[in-house]
Amino acid sequence: MTAVRPETTARSASDTSFSFPTGFVWGAATAAYQVEGAAAEDGRTPSIWDTFSHTPGKVRNGDTGDIAADHFHLYRDDVALMKDLGLKAYRFSVSWSRVQPTGRGPAVERGLDFYRRLTDELLEAGITPVATLYHWDLPQELEDAGGWPQRDTADRFADYADIMGRALGDRVGVWTTLNEPWCSAFLGYGSGVHAPGRTDPAATLRAAHHLNLAHGRAVGVLRSVLPATAQTSITLNLHQVRPLTDKPEDVEAARRIDAVGNRIFTGPILDGAYPQDLIADTAHLVDWGQLVKDGDLAEISRPIDVLGVNYYAPTVVSHPTEGAGTTKNDGHGASDHSPWTGSDHVAFHLANDDLTAMNWAIDANGLHTLLTDLAKSHPGLPLMVTENGAAFDDYISPEGQVNDPQRIAYLHSHLEAVRRAVADGADVRGYFLWSLLDNFEWSYGYSKRFGAVYVDYSTQRRIPKASAHWYADVIRGNALPASGAQGRA
């Protein structure tokens, strides 16, 4: 997948005949722990998500990723399904503990062989493999040694990146270091709703810095072992933050959440420095002068070829009012501990009452704003929508079909937002639907379905939903239909 700059057009963004740019990449995404299963095969050892999901009370219904969608065994069928849908690219993540079980030392070749087989199958099907090194599944032994709050974990990640780059560099030309490091740091070590389930505000900030450092070091390693044509990236779940009102106290709340939710990553990665207001907001929790060592920012800010952007819903905040639950509607799961380290007094609100099964507000304008704001703040930076999608209460009809008109409407509105962003000057080069398959949805277990393809977990049968056929039509025409009408059932 080359980062060809999409051609722009002078047509109005409201023109329903407007096609996406030539070379626009259409894909779908998954994550290793959510789909692979085979949790103890070929030398794989537990990750923090294995430990977390097997801890009573951490995941809904006691669900685990032990089997998940069994992608490990069914990857050939899944690649054939991708080909049938016309996907141009498949974004998958590598299970660190499958290829380097302790997070140290040499790789397990049997683990690497799975990813070799997967990428070969993709290439044979004409689908570009896009590899993510880390989607939240830290080897448990590294967590036992302190996890991401420890600086050594960044060194271990660089070694792991070297292993993967050498193993798959001849097959994979697009590499993402981290997926949503905000979730790894703030949900894993702050609110505790994600693995490893810790609730330590200071550890949260240390984890964020070491994730940034791990990214920078991995970029350096990948550039040293990959062909010159290979591309490096990071994927961030940037929060499209809005104040509830234009009152100064609400605007201040939005500033604080933007700092700890977005600029704690975009600052050092894209601009080479942590924002001063973030440092001031959190100075009572960590000594940033001690945490950030000489040379760290130069490593973290190594240039990337593309920025991955994940978007699901906007983040609406205010200064707390009497009776307001501060994190009630932040969309990241219930906890007595806030993930918003240093700003845990801020109140969160739903943008509207049009909700997905996750109780996330449906607001496609937020994606347009996010992309165009990035284009303005970092002109010339190529962007890729690396996750976007919605969970709804899908079911198999008596006719054996899965009709999901709500998802089709969601995708239509959000792809329209991407299209408008391109017309408005954002260099958006592709879109990856989340997710290809229904899967293990982290602390929600199997209770939420994001897939374009329905998975019957009792049989592992795959049934493309109506939205999958609709998406295939979009890919085929490289354009949106005039309305959100359903595709072939």
Question: Catalytic residue numbers?
Answer: 180, 387
Mind spelling out the 3-state secondary structure of the chain? CCCCCCCCCCCCCCCCCCECCCCCEEEEECCHHHHCCCCCCCCCCCEHHHHHHCCCCCCHHHCCCCCCCCHHHHHHHHHHHHHHHCCCEEEEECCHHHHCCCCCCCCCHHHHHHHHHHHHHHHHCCCEEEEEEECCCCEHHHHHCCCCCCCHHHHHHHHHHHHHHHHHCCCCCEEEEEECHHHHHHHHHHHCCCCCCCCCHHHHHHHHHHHHHHHHHHHHHHHHHCCCCCEEEEEECCCCEEECCCCHHHHHHHHHHHHHHHHHHHHHHHHCCCCHHHHHHHCCCCCHHHHCCCCHHHHHCCCCCEEEEECCCCEEEECCCCCCCCCCCCCCCCCCCCCCCCCCCCEEECCCCCECCCCCECCCHHHHHHHHHHHHHCCCCCEEEEECCCCECCCCCCCCCCCCHHHHHHHHHHHHHHHHHHHCCCCEEEEEEECCECCCCHHHCCCCECCCEEEECCCCEEEECHHHHHHHHHHHHCECCCCCCCCCC
